[in-house]
Amino acid sequence: GENVEQHPSTLSVQEGDSAVIKCTYSDSASNYFPWYKQELGKRPQLIIDIRSNVGEKKDQRIAVTLNKTAKHFSLHITETQPEDSAVYFCAAYPRRFYFGSGTKLNVKP
Amino acid sequence: GAGVSQSPRYKVAKRGQDVALRCDPISGHVSLFWYQQALGQGPEFLTYFQNEAQLDKSGLPSDRFFAERPEGSVSTLKIQRTQQEDSAVYLCASSLARDLSYEQYFGPGTRLTVT
């Protein structure tokens, strides 16, 4: 089956800085890559996603890039704010969803 | 509108007890998923329904786990003879499309603690 690895496991940045979270996957059949934000005690919520026929997608301060050849994709958050503090999960979909182990982002004011 | 709801939100069970966890998906959503999320980990797939049909149950960890969605809406995840390793948050998610590569909407989860 698919194997999704995510790093770093924790990331601390100063407010206003950028944050980058990276994921790798193993199954070349994976064709859909969502990113979820999960605040403490809350449900995961989709923040951005990308399909395998696209290399980059942006939505305001959030962007995702995909390198199919290298089988990795990354989440980029610019101008971070304290409310961006949460756990972020990447996922890959070849027939079903496989999630990474999460990155705890702490944005210091 | 109403999102995915789950009940109970918290459940404490003694080892060996049976539990039933309920999921109410968004009305009209065809696809329904169950995930198990251990502390500090990402969600792990358990099973998937398209309407009332259970199309994939390959993630269920043992035959003590059973899920159903008899009328294609509400789903129940049942765990028999609970063990301590079953302690986790159980998340339900639903999606409008049959094509699984679409947004899933998660419920708040049921935190199961087996003592």
* Tokens 């050849």 belong to residue: A69
B40: chain A residues, CB-CB within 8 Å? 101-102
Q: How many contacts, defined by CB atoms under 8 Å, are there between A and B?
A: 51
Which site among A7, A35, A43, A59 would you substitute to test the B interface, given the most B Cβ atoms closer than 10 Å to its Cβ?
A43
Q: What is the pLDDT of residues A60-101, one digit of tens each?
A: 999 999 999 999 999 999 999 999 999 999 999 888 889 999
Q: What local confidence, expressed as pLDDT, does residue A88 receive?
A: 98
Nearest-Cα distance to chain B for A98, in Å, is 7
B21 to chain A nearest CA, in Å? Answer: 16
Q: Tell me, yes or no, if B54 comes closer than 8 A to chain A by beta carbon.
A: no
pLDDT for residue A56 is more than 80: yes
Contacts of B67 (CB under 8 A, 6+ apart): B34, B46, B47, B49, B54, B57, B60, B75, B76, B77, B78
Asked if the model's pLDDT at residue B1 lies above 60, the reply is: no
Token output for A75: 């989440």
